[in-house]
Amino acid sequence: MKSLAILLLFSVVASAYGAAPTPDTLRTIADRYLAKQPAPILDKGFSMDEALGAQRAFIDLLKPKLGPVAGYKIGLITKAGQERFGATGPVHGVLLKKMLHYDGAEISANYGVKPGLELDMGVIVKDDAINETKTMDEAIAHLSYLTTFIELVDTITATNQPMDAPLLVALNVGARAGVIGSRVRMSPAVAKALPEMRMYLTDETGQVIADVPKLHLQPLENLPWLIADLKKAGTPLKSGDFISVGSPATIQPVTAGKKITLHYEIKDVSPLAASVKFKE
């Protein structure tokens, strides 16, 4: 009887820990991702190391269609987001060359499974020496530009898919596409002004449809974490890499026929903007 109780306890504990996606499952996910179809129901509960391994394999399957690595995105930058996914800190995804578009791009409103628009921000790596930095201030010296960035995220999971941070990472943190707009040369003064900046969206009529009057956080503060994480993985940053640093703004809906413009107002910086038009 005691042995049976131990066996039942083991079964309950084991069931709480899922298996990371297998190579065959990752191939199915990649095929469905490229076809803009939802992934199958997946296990959660595996380790973050397993998640990063699955992410690398997933990205390798996407590269033939979407090109080489062009940068990275930082996700779960707020405590609320981290708590929602049971994360202990931020997470990162990989951006491939054909995911990135430029100001004025026209993109299908059906670009993914469950599209969403995010008021975001990007920086561009100036040189490889950024990999030797330990603090945000040190890292800033190795960034060339701060750019406006509209991230076009995608929820590729099936309806009612249970989620946690490792599964989010395995599926590349919702990366699908994004639009890079105007930029300003990075400096300590620009970085210092970011927590007080305003970012907002307007539609084709000029109406404000989403507004963050003040960020109330430093969007560059997670750079040292990302630098260390990528070095540990053997994929250090390189000159020209684009990094989406995230924002606390709510994800917005995507509607065909709309032209959306993201605006930045930063102290002592000329207004910056990025626009995208959604086609049928």
155 DSSP assignment: -
Q: What is the reported pLDDT for 91?
A: 97
Q: What is the reported pLDDT for 6?
A: 38
pTM score of the predicted model: 0.93
Q: What is the reported pLDDT for 206?
A: 97
Q: Decide: 149 and 178 in contact? Cβ < 8 Å.
A: yes
Q: Which CATH architecture has domain 2-279?
A: Alpha-Beta Complex (3.90)
Q: Decide: 188 and 137 in contact? Cβ < 8 Å.
A: yes
Distance CA 179, CA 167 (A): 26
Amino acid at 17: Y
Each residue's pLDDT tens digit, 132-149: 999 999 999 999 999 999
Q: Decide: 155 and 5 in contact? Cβ < 8 Å.
A: no
- Tell me which residues of the chain have a pLDDT lower than 70: 1-17
For residue 139, the SS3 value is helix
> What are the sequence ranges of the domains in the chain?
2-279
**Percent of the chain clearing pLDDT 90 (strictly above):** 92
Alpha helices in the chain (DSSP H): 2-15, 23-34, 48-66, 79-85, 136-140, 165-170, 188-193, 223-232
Q: What is the reported pLDDT for 11?
A: 36
Q: What is the Cβ-side half-sphere exposure of residue 206, based on CA atoms within 13 angstroms?
A: 0
Distance CA 233, CA 231 (A): 5
